[in-house]
A and B are shown apart, each in its own frame.
Chain A
Amino acid sequence: MAKKTSRPSPKPKPVVAPLAPAKLRRTCDPARFAFKSTAELKPPKDILGQARAIDAIELGTGISHDGFNLFVLGAHGCDMQGAVEELLQTKARRQEPPCDWVYLYNFAAPDKPKAMCLPAGKAVRFRAAMETMVADIRATAKAMFEADEYQTRRRSIESGVKQAQESAFSELQQKAQELGTAVLHTPQGFGVAPIKEGEVLKPEEFKALPQEEKDRIEQAIRTIQHELEVMLQGMPGLMTEARRSLQKLDLEFANAAIAHVSGDLEKAFSGVEGMRAYLDAVKADLAENIYMFLASPEMPGQVEAEVTGPVQPQGDDPRLRRYAVNVVVSSDGAPNGRAAPIVKDERPSLANLVGRVEHQSQMGALITDFTLIKPGSLHHANGGYLLIDARKLLMQPFAWDALKRSLKTNRITIESATEYAGMFSPVSLEPEPIPLSVKVVLFGDHMLYFMLAAQDPEFSEFFKVEAEFDDVLKRARPMETRYAAWIGALAACNNVRALDPGGVAAVIEHSSRMADDSERLSLRDEHIADLLREADYWSNKAGRRLIGACDIESAIDGRKRRSDRIRERQMEAIERDIVSVKTSGAVIGQINGLSVLSMGDIRFGKPSRVTARIQMGSGKVVDIEREVALGGALHSKGVLILSSFITSRYAPGVPLSFGASLVFEQSYGGVDGDSASSTELYALLSALSELPIKQSFAVTGSVSQLGEVQTIGGVNDKIEGYFDLCASRGLSGEQGVLIPHSNVQHLMLRSDVVEACAKGKFHIYPIRTIDQGIELLTGVPAGKRGRNGKFPDGSVNQKVEQRLIGLADARSSYGKDRENNGNGDTA
């Protein structure tokens, strides 16, 4: 009789089937693209996927009320600034350019320079016109003051004084002669002497005169002396009058010279507010100081040589600097042309923002004047838009304060840091503040935005519009085509080759991987642009005309290789059993957990061993990581949740009498997040039920108090991290990873992982509940509580409950024994 060969008993059907390969990576078929190269595609008209942000920017820039400045926030890697600039350019071109601003000397208060607004593009012309006028005045004044008319009139006044003096003197002499006296010059003045026949009397001749005659002579001398004194005292008056006449004459000619050259300038700028008053002040000052143009600075009073060379700028002659025009803002030659300005301040320090007053060292002292006022970015952006990185702004002392103050007062006030800090500062200027009308756009990340909103009560007063840039967009088929156009535009903008459909498809797949979601595409254009640049390098190296899929793969692999050293070291440690992670066999109370290590641009999955131990206790689950301050709050929360799960599910009515401890073995770097809470729960259940867990599996997922396995982050890196370990040891076909079911939509695994799964060498299991997971891990049904309130015999849950009751009984007995022993009674 033929022996019946017994068929091996079929493997029990797993409660959860592994995911099909198609679910592990959402591919993009290049064949669906109708183009041959992205160069054929028109760039998208609007900014892809940022409708919310665009609407916010439109609103913020459209509202002219105070406070509606913008804070643009988004994830790192999104080119928010570029996008915003593009939007603003369109708006700015439709706006009129703002007016020009100049600083002028304040004749009434020289330490308070005046600001003046001129029509756009006129400031430079005004400056040139003033320089020309001053130069012309120099030539005109010289001509007028050297002309016959002036010289004659001047000499007439001067000689008039002399003539008056001499005439007075002559009259006095004549009178003196009539009285028989004469006025003589002495070394220190004048004397009056008696004369006879034209000659001064000798003393003996005088003595010989009759007394009457002597008296008469003395009286005459006294009379003449008195008149001489009066005449001499009146001389200064003559001089003063002459001086006044000369000044009047000089003023007359100065005004004539100035009027001759200033007419054109006055006409050209007559419509400018404040110009008339300023020019009147200039003319008055010029007239008063006309001598500056008639003498060189080194030798006052000396007539200057003819100016035959080019006009010297006023700055070369310090006396003429007051007539200079300091152009601080001009749309003449502005980068934005005849449009509203868009200014990016890359270093928004206080001085760069509101401007500064420079000083020059002269003979050991620091001096300044209005020509040394320098504008800041607020000046340049006035009437337009100012773009600033918020983090850079906050790092500059006093800058944030200054910006808020400027927005609050709608004025730009130039103050130095020393003034802000209340420190001693050299004698400086107080330039007249300039009215401000600007839209400020700050750029930052979410954390910075929310921190400012929470900590600075003024923040929401000045930045009412939040424009949030999304970093992902929904991946739908129509969107993939638009995305392709976007990639093409990005390539063109970065001067790299266009892509073929294969290249585009590879980018799209990588983009989903960057988003960590198969149903999303990344909008981090800076990262994509970097990828394209690297792919262009590979394409160029291979001599290809277009970037293809292989170039994209080379770029991805190259990037990974460059940052792979730490991951390789970690893996090596596991392979060499320095860090113990099993990938086969089964152990009670031990399970493979998965975490993601993230350091800058480096990110990879790392398997680690989680263990649980049970002893009699009071129901506390000790999280060893937390005990030694290596566990973060979220991790602690996860542990508390699983504790609550156990206490609520098992042995109701039985006092908790177990103590448990959980630890990430050989982890010294800190743990946070609750993505390992299901892992820890499995370990705990295994320890309680004393059922071993298959070490061929790794697990990730957080758990709720109801035993639901919940979504975690970094699912792709975690799976690949465990896969790489298993692959390095040789895939057995038994290995796999348990992930939350809700994470299936995020899967964008590497092709080698997908291939291995397709061949049945590796498996990914989507888990919804703890029961599903424990069944897969132990190979023992979890068991459902029946109507009798009990779990089926031999099920995991039954064993757990039995253990808990056992521990409660043991604890209770222990307590009684202790009591009895204490009283002397025998047990």
Chain B
Amino acid sequence: MSHKSEQPASGPGRPIDVRTIALALDCSTLNRAAVEAAVGLAAATGAQLSAVFIEDECLHNLAAMPFAREISFSGTSSRSFSSLQITSEIKRSVDTARRTIARIAARENVECGFSVTRGQPAESLNLAGGKAQILALGSSRSRIGRVHTVAALRSKMAHGSGVLVAPADPEFEGGPVVAILSPGAEVGAVVKTAERIAAQANRRHQFLIVSGSGAERAALHQGVLEAQSSSVEIGFCGVNQLSQVSRAIRLQSPGLVIADIDYAHFDDASSIEAVSEAFGAPLILVQV
């Protein structure tokens, strides 16, 4: 993902021009929906897709400890593990991820590079993102609470980039692209980004204006009309709570949701995976 320090092709207030998508993976459960979303986005936009498997350095460190134990997901069994074992398990995860991604990419006629890197997840994620405009989080539980909170992302994302995350079981396959607009958002950039992605993916696009204030709503509405090159559906949600917004979003049966990272209703502490689950659809948080 592009760092704040770097200046991508699209600047502040400009729509994101998706040319590269990085798909970040680790040895936690592969999020197939996220992989599908990333591959689909690559197919639609013609962007280059590359998958990066991040071997968690910490696991190797832990495996070298004498007291290293692995507790099963069910919690009913535990076993000691060694570096050899962890290496072997990670290798298996890598192979599984590589095969799955290759199958999905081949189906969509998308070329996908695959590389493996070792390091600390947070830094590795940055490295994996590289100059990609979109960083897709392809694993379900990568270091919960550390990297993927809204606040953490906001501080790390450069302008003109976005993070793609998907729920485990998206509900509205093939639905329209829905962009959330709220006071403070870069309306034009978000509108254009949404319009561009929808056009490339051959889908409808809609907007949801979230604001409790009539004046703000009107302003946002005007902004949409000015930025939008064709007629479009616009929905309104007057209640400023994530649960209400989620309901409003779901009514649109979205196939993809685009929101400004500065969307006020995101709780800094909330994980973006949880937000994506709430919407029932893959979510691209953009920093425009």
Query: Which A positions have Cβ atoms within 8 angstroms of B?
Result: 148, 151-152, 155, 159, 162, 166, 169-170, 173, 182, 184-194, 199-203, 206, 218, 221-222, 225, 228-236
Residues on A with beta carbons closer than 8 Å to the beta carbon of B86: 186-187
Name B75's contact: one of A151, A155, A232 (CB within 8 Å).
A232
Is B100 an interface position by the 8 A CB rule?
no
What are 18 pairs between A and B in contact, CB < 8 Å? A166-B274, A184-B62, A185-B27, A185-B56, A190-B71, A191-B69, A192-B69, A193-B58, A193-B61, A193-B62, A193-B65, A199-B58, A206-B65, A218-B67, A225-B71, A230-B75, A232-B72, A233-B75
Name A187's contact: one of B58, B68, B90, B246 (CB within 8 Å).
B90
Q: Complex: how many Å from CA A189 to CA B76?
A: 11
Closest B residue by C-beta to A231: B75
Residues on A with beta carbons closer than 8 Å to the beta carbon of B58: 182, 184, 193, 199-200
Name B73's contact: one of A159, A189, A192, A221 (CB within 8 Å).
A189
User: B75, A202: Cβ atoms under 8 Å?
Assistant: no
Q: Complex: how many Å from CA A193 to CA B56?
A: 12
Given A151-B250, A236-B74, output 7 extra A-B contacts at Cβ < 8 Å.
A162-B277, A170-B145, A186-B70, A188-B70, A193-B68, A200-B58, A232-B75
Given A152-B247, A187-B89, A233-B74, decide whether A202 and B81 contact each other with a Cβ distance below 8 A.
Answer: no
What is the interface of chain B mostly: helix, strand, loop, or mixed? mixed
Q: Complex: how many Å from CA A521 to CA B144?
A: 111
User: A191, B64: Cβ atoms under 8 Å?
Assistant: no
Closest B residue by C-beta to A185: B28
User: A148, B247: Cβ atoms under 8 Å?
Assistant: yes
Most B-side CB within 10 Å, residue of A152, A186, A193 = A186
Is B262 an interface position by the 8 A CB rule?
no
Is B26 an interface position by the 8 A CB rule?
yes
User: A228, B75: Cβ atoms under 8 Å?
Assistant: yes
User: B72, A191: Cβ atoms under 8 Å?
Assistant: no
Residues on A with beta carbons closer than 8 Å to the beta carbon of B61: 193, 200-203
Query: Which B positions have Cβ atoms within 8 angstroms of A?
Result: 26-28, 56-59, 61-62, 64-65, 67-76, 78, 81, 86, 89-90, 92-93, 120, 141-145, 243, 246-247, 250, 271, 274, 277-278
Residues on A with beta carbons closer than 8 Å to the beta carbon of B93: 187
Q: Complex: how many Å from CA A233 to CA B120?
A: 29
Name B65's contact: one of A187, A189, A203, A229 (CB within 8 Å).
A203
Residues on A with beta carbons closer than 8 Å to the beta carbon of B76: 229, 232-233
Q: Complex: how many Å from CA A360 to CA B68?
A: 64
User: A166, B81: Cβ atoms under 8 Å?
Assistant: no
User: B92, A232: Cβ atoms under 8 Å?
Assistant: no
Residues on B with beta carbons closer than 8 Å to the beta carbon of A225: 69, 71, 78
Given A193-B62, A202-B61, decide whether A188 and B73 contact each other with a Cβ distance below 8 A.
Answer: yes
Residues on A with beta carbons closer than 8 Å to the beta carbon of B120: 199
User: B62, A173: Cβ atoms under 8 Å?
Assistant: no
User: A221, B67: Cβ atoms under 8 Å?
Assistant: yes
Name B71's contact: one of A148, A155, A169, A232 (CB within 8 Å).
A232
Q: Complex: how many Å from CA A189 to CA B77?
A: 10
Name B78's contact: one of A151, A155, A200, A229 (CB within 8 Å).
A229
Name A185's contact: one of B67, B142, B274 (CB within 8 Å).
B142
Name B92's contact: one of A166, A187, A201, A236 (CB within 8 Å).
A187
Q: Complex: how many Å from CA A169 to CA B75?
A: 13
Q: Complex: how many Å from CA A228 to CA B86?
A: 20
Name A155's contact: one of B72, B90, B143, B278 (CB within 8 Å).
B278
User: B274, A191: Cβ atoms under 8 Å?
Assistant: no
User: A162, B274: Cβ atoms under 8 Å?
Assistant: yes
User: B27, A187: Cβ atoms under 8 Å?
Assistant: yes
Q: How near does chain B come to A62, taking the closest CB pair, in angstroms? A: 72
Closest A residue by C-beta to B68: A191
Q: Complex: how many Å from CA A182 to CA B69?
A: 13
User: B71, A229: Cβ atoms under 8 Å?
Assistant: yes
Q: How near does chain A come to B13, taking the closest CB pair, in angstroms? A: 34
Q: How near does chain A come to B16, taking the closest CB pair, in angstroms? A: 30
User: B59, A184: Cβ atoms under 8 Å?
Assistant: yes
Given A166-B144, A218-B67, decide whether A151 and B73 contact each other with a Cβ distance below 8 A.
Answer: no
Q: Complex: how many Å from CA A147 to CA B123?
A: 44
Q: Complex: how many Å from CA A186 to CA B73?
A: 10
Residues on A with beta carbons closer than 8 Å to the beta carbon of B73: 188-190, 232
Closest B residue by C-beta to A186: B70
Q: Complex: how many Å from CA A227 to CA B271?
A: 24
Q: Complex: how many Å from CA A323 to CA B146?
A: 54
Closest B residue by C-beta to A224: B71
Q: How near does chain B come to A164, taking the closest CB pair, in angstroms? A: 13
User: B145, A173: Cβ atoms under 8 Å?
Assistant: yes
Residues on B with beta carbons closer than 8 Å to the beta carbon of A202: 61, 64
Name A186's contact: one of B27, B65, B277 (CB within 8 Å).
B27
Name B26's contact: one of A185, A192, A206, A236 (CB within 8 Å).
A185
User: A191, B27: Cβ atoms under 8 Å?
Assistant: no
Closest A residue by C-beta to B76: A233
Q: How near does chain A come to B121, taking the closest CB pair, in angstroms? A: 10
Most A-side CB within 10 Å, residue of B26, B69, B71 = B71
Q: Complex: how many Å from CA A193 to CA B243?
A: 36
Residues on B with beta carbons closer than 8 Å to the beta carbon of A222: 67
Residues on B with beta carbons closer than 8 Å to the beta carbon of A199: 58, 120
Q: How near does chain B come to A208, taking the closest CB pair, in angstroms? A: 13
Name A200's contact: one of B28, B62, B144, B277 (CB within 8 Å).
B62
Q: Complex: how many Å from CA A675 to CA B70?
A: 117
Q: Complex: how many Å from CA A221 to CA B78?
A: 13
User: B81, A186: Cβ atoms under 8 Å?
Assistant: yes
Q: Complex: how many Å from CA A206 to CA B68?
A: 12
Residues on B with beta carbons closer than 8 Å to the beta carbon of A236: 74
Residues on B with beta carbons closer than 8 Å to the beta carbon of A173: 144-145
User: A191, B81: Cβ atoms under 8 Å?
Assistant: yes
Closest B residue by C-beta to A232: B75
Closest A residue by C-beta to B89: A187
Q: How near does chain B come to A143, taking the closest CB pair, in angstroms? A: 14
Q: How near does chain A come to B66, taking the closest CB pair, in angstroms? A: 8
Q: Complex: how many Å from CA A584 to CA B65?
A: 145
Given A173-B145, A233-B74, A233-B75, decide whether A186 and B89 contact each other with a Cβ distance below 8 A.
Answer: yes
Q: How near does chain B come to A371, taking the closest CB pair, in angstroms? A: 37
User: A159, B278: Cβ atoms under 8 Å?
Assistant: yes
User: B70, A229: Cβ atoms under 8 Å?
Assistant: no
Residues on A with beta carbons closer than 8 Å to the beta carbon of B75: 228-235
Most B-side CB within 10 Å, residue of A189, A194, A203 = A189
User: B247, A188: Cβ atoms under 8 Å?
Assistant: no
User: A188, B72: Cβ atoms under 8 Å?
Assistant: yes
Q: How near does chain A come to B272, taking the closest CB pair, in angstroms? A: 13
Residues on A with beta carbons closer than 8 Å to the beta carbon of B144: 166, 169-170, 173
Residues on A with beta carbons closer than 8 Å to the beta carbon of B90: 187
Given A152-B247, A229-B78, A233-B74, decide whether A159 and B69 contact each other with a Cβ distance below 8 A.
Answer: no
Q: Complex: how many Å from CA A206 to CA B92?
A: 28
Residues on A with beta carbons closer than 8 Å to the beta carbon of B64: 202-203
User: B27, A189: Cβ atoms under 8 Å?
Assistant: no
Closest A residue by C-beta to B143: A185
Closest B residue by C-beta to A218: B67
Nearest first, the 5 closest Cβ-Cβ pairs linking A and B are A232-B75, A200-B58, A203-B64, A187-B89, A193-B62
Residues on B with beta carbons closer than 8 Å to the beta carbon of A185: 26-28, 56, 141-143
Given A200-B58, A232-B75, decide whether A189 and B277 contact each other with a Cβ distance below 8 A.
Answer: no
Q: How near does chain A come to B276, taking the closest CB pair, in angstroms? A: 12
Residues on B with beta carbons closer than 8 Å to the beta carbon of A229: 71, 75-76, 78
Closest A residue by C-beta to B83: A203
Residues on B with beta carbons closer than 8 Å to the beta carbon of A190: 70-71, 73
Q: Complex: how many Å from CA A721 to CA B240?
A: 118
Q: How near does chain A come to B31, taking the closest CB pair, in angstroms? A: 13
Q: Complex: how many Å from CA A162 to CA B167?
A: 12
User: A189, B67: Cβ atoms under 8 Å?
Assistant: no
Closest B residue by C-beta to A217: B67
Q: Complex: how many Å from CA A397 to CA B58?
A: 86
Q: How near does chain B come to A150, taking the closest CB pair, in angstroms? A: 12
Residues on A with beta carbons closer than 8 Å to the beta carbon of B65: 193-194, 203, 206
Closest A residue by C-beta to B64: A203
